[in-house]
């Protein structure tokens, strides 16, 4: 399975207190903080001329509210896609990244967590469901969902996708080349 070859935008939800404190959220339903609300409004202004036709979002509150703030200014529908939800990290939710995190990516799954490989497959299904919607599509989701984009679009791994920063993606002219990723002007990553 591979990522559908469609132009799209990706936005990691606005900041939460746990983001600010460096804690893993996973499926914990954390609200946006003041910075996160401001990031969503700024992203809405920046995306105003992008021609977004559909916004697809994770069902988690932090992504859903970010998407709704943007949609209110763009006057486009918001579609919730369950498979765009962040990874379940089980007993490690609420903890900082530590040795467990790299071990999880290598296949050692913490109690109650999703297996890394299965999470990437689920995320790819959610991304492809989003990319099948009328476009251009804006996907509002999580840092973990972006790992699937990097993996299946052949984009070099980043340490962390910043909160609230719109990223434009275009498929390559030839299938074996990596996708093009571009940060929209006005944001510093």
Residues recognised as catalytic: 13, 86
Q: CB within 8 A of 110, min separation 6: which ones?
A: 89, 90, 91, 92, 100, 104
Q: How far is CA 169 from the centre of its chain?
A: 13
| Rounded Cα–Cα distance for residues 50 and 76 (Å) | 12
């Amino acid at each position: 399975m591979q990522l559908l070859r469609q132009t799209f935008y990706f936005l990691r939800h606005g900041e939460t207190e746990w983001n600010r404190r460096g804690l893993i959220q996973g499926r914990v339903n954390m609200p946006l903080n003041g910075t996160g609300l401001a990031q969503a409004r700024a992203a809405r202004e920046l995306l105003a001329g992008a021609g977004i036709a559909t916004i697809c979002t994770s069902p988690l509150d932090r992504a859903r509210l970010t998407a709704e703030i943007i949609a209110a200014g763009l006057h486009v529908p918001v579609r919730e896609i369950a498979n765009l939800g962040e990874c379940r990290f089980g007993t490690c939710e609420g903890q900082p990244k530590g040795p467990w995190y790299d071990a999880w990516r290598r296949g050692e799954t913490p109690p109650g967590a999703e297996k890394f490989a299965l999470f990437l497959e689920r995320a790819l299904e959610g991304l492809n469901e989003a990319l099948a919607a009328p476009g251009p599509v804006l996907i509002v989701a999580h840092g973990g969902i972006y790992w699937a984009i990097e993996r299946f679009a052949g984009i070099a791994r980043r340490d962390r996708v910043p909160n609230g920063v719109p990223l434009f993606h275009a498929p390559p002219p030839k299938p074996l080349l990596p996708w093009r990723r571009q940060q929209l002007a006005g944001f510093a990553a």
